[in-house]
Amino acid sequence: MQSTTNYLWLISDLLGQGATANVYRGRHKKTGDLYAVKVFNNLSFLRPLDVQMREFEVLKKLNHKNIVKLFAVEEESNTRHKVLVMEYCPCGSLYTVLEESSNAYGLPEDEFLIVLHDVGEEHSTSSPETGLQCLSPV
């Protein structure tokens, strides 16, 4: 079991993985509420910390029904790697959702860019993949 100050997850609860991070189904230690926990690996250190933190702050500002909410940025207790605590969407990744023909819709890219503009950011700091829509209730 891995943890941060407020969240915990099992390695076996892997939701997805990428080049710089793995995403797990996690829980809040006190409430038991489900969250997606994105744990960065050593490759993430290739990007400057100040750039990463700026992007995390942008994501925290985003508030739109079609964009996964970032609730917290913490550190993994053992490795001290950055951990993003995000809204849990049980339907999977954007790519998984869009593979289903019935779900080949979602947040249009231009609407996503408008939301980014509203929080004062250029579209180069985020990508449409960030705009995953939760298609079923948590």
Q: Which residues are annotated as a binding site?
A: 38
CB neighbours of residue 135 within 10 Å: 16
Question: What is the C-alpha to C-alpha distance for residues 64 and 36, in angstroms, rounded to an integer?
Answer: 17
pLDDT exceeds cutoff 70 at 79: yes
pLDDT exceeds cutoff 50 at 123: no
H or E element in which residue 35 lies: strand 34-40
**Amino acid, single-letter form, for residue 103:** N
Q: Residue 113 — pLDDT band, cuts 50, 70, 90?
A: low
* Residue ranges of domains in the chain: 2-131
pLDDT in tens, 37-50: 999 887 777 777 78
Q: Which residues are annotated as a binding site for ATP?
A: 38
State in words which class domain 2-131 has. Answer: alpha beta
Predicted TM-score (pTM) of this structure: 0.70
Edge-to-edge strands, sheet with 82-86? 2-3, 7-17, 21-28, 34-40, 82-86, 70-75
**Amino acid 114: pLDDT:** 56
